[in-house]
Amino acid sequence: MSLKETRIAEITSRMGNNKILIIGDIMLDEYLFGMVNRISPEAPVPIVEITSDRFLLGGAANVAANIKALGDEPLLLGTVGEDEASIKLNQLLKEKHISHDLLINDSFRKTTIKTRVIANNQQIVRTDRENCHELDKDIEQKALNRFQSVANEIKAVIISDYGKGVITLSLLEKVISICCEKDIFIAVDPKETHFHNYKKVSLITPNHHEAGFAYGKRIKNDNDMLEVGNGLLKRLQAKSILITRGAEGMSLFRDGFPPTHIPTFARKVFDVTGAGDTVIASFVSAVCAGADLVEAAVIANAGAGLTVGEIGTSAVTVELLKTELERNIKNGRLHEALSQ
């Protein structure tokens, strides 16, 4: 197979015209930037002199930001607390013109905040403030009702599961059932401990650690990758599994086809935070625009390569994707990937 510039132009010109629902664990990402010049006299730890801070959308909210950047309309469904963090999160959504109409305020949960301290361009520590208990039945029913209220409008669903309690087995089964009935493309960014709940979905996007854990075999080489990828595909009855492999790129497994291995397009790696969100958003947006699964995987790979070159979560535009893909056509990387 050869992916040409004309086909890239065709797919990217169609991206950005669909409603895509994102359901999952919504987070607020806080970044504290500073410098380390000395060690604490109280304990053998660095003292970070904070010079600036930044708040970004995280978790399912970052997937929504990626979908928005690609031009599609994200519908974000999940829970937030009744706290200051939820107010800040709503402000960030408003700034990016992402609707919060489907969000559910849950007084029994706090809004998840992940704080990362970055010193001398390196992450020193991360702290998490969160609740991980499952939704109670009333909140779960509200989530299902809100999903059903927009099910006839959407082209795809992205499940963003970080294991914080929003994606319950009961809710997941009902959402998958409705998507299958309505022929809605459903993609899952999985939590490894929930892996075997994601049956009969269109796409699952684990990294190689998550995939190996879920299958029960550590991936050490290409033969292990083949066994795990094909085994999970069969076990979950999924249409496709895209396993991200860090510096080794990605491997796409499809029902009824041999696997496709795609080398990384990244030129530099500063921060992998949010790369998985970019992968699933780019893949789903491309599928909604008419790309086949291999084409969508190549486009997602280009998106990931752009994201890891930035500090913090960052959203990729269609124009950036197009430029990156054209660059890799000209240098032969796409041909290398798709001729394997």
Question: pLDDT tens for residues 131-176?
Answer: 999 999 999 999 999 999 999 999 999 999 999 999 999 999 999 9
pLDDT for 25 equals: 96
End-to-end CA distance of the chain: 9
- Among the listed residues 25, 161, 189, 277, the single catalytic one is 277
Gyration radius of the chain over CA positions: 20
Average the pLDDT over 165-193 and give the result.
Answer: 95
Question: Tokens at residue 170, please?
Answer: 């009961």
Both tokens of 78, joined, read 């999940």
pLDDT at position 305 is: 78
Residue 311 pLDDT exceeds 60: no
Q: How far apart are CA 180 and CA 173, in angstroms?
A: 11
Q: What pLDDT does residue 256 have? A: 87
Report yes or no: 208 and 246 within 8 Å, Cβ to Cβ.
yes
What residues are paired with 74 via a beta bridge? 20
Give catalytic status of residue 277 as yes or no: yes
Quote the pLDDT of residue 1. Answer: 47
**What is the structure's pLDDT at 313?**
46
DSSP label at residue 143: H
Q: What is the spatial distance between Cα 93 and Cα 63, in angstroms, rounded to a whole number?
A: 12
Percent of the chain with pLDDT strictly greater than 70:
91
Q: Residue 291 to residues 76, 127, 206, 208, 328: CA-CA distances in angstroms?
A: 24, 39, 21, 24, 18
Helix (H) or strand (E) segment spanning residue 276: helix 275-288
Band of pLDDT at residue 266, cut at 50, 70 and 90: low
* pLDDT: which is higher, 320 or 307: 320
pLDDT above 90: percentage of residues in the chain: 73
Q: How many other C-beta atoms can be found within 10 angstroms of the C-beta atom of residue 174? A: 17
- Count CB neighbours of 94 within 10 A: 11
Could you identify the residue written with the tokens 């299902």?
144
Give the span between the Cα atoms of 291 and 284, in whole angstroms.
9
Domains, the chain, ordered by start: 5-26+57-108+132-338 (3.40.1190.20)
* 57-114 pLDDT tens trace: 999 999 999 999 999 999 999 999 999 999 999 999 999 999 999 999 999 999 999 9
Mean pLDDT, rounded, for 230-245: 94
Task: Look at residue 309 in the predicted model and tell me its pLDDT.
Answer: 47
Report the distance separating Cα 33 and Cα 164, nearest Å.
26
pLDDT, mean over the chain = 89
Least confident piece of the model among 118-127, 136-145, 245-254: 245-254
More confidently predicted of 132 and 267: 132
The answer, yes or no, to whether residue 126 has pLDDT greater than 50, is: yes
The yes-or-no verdict on residue 312 having pLDDT over 60 is: no
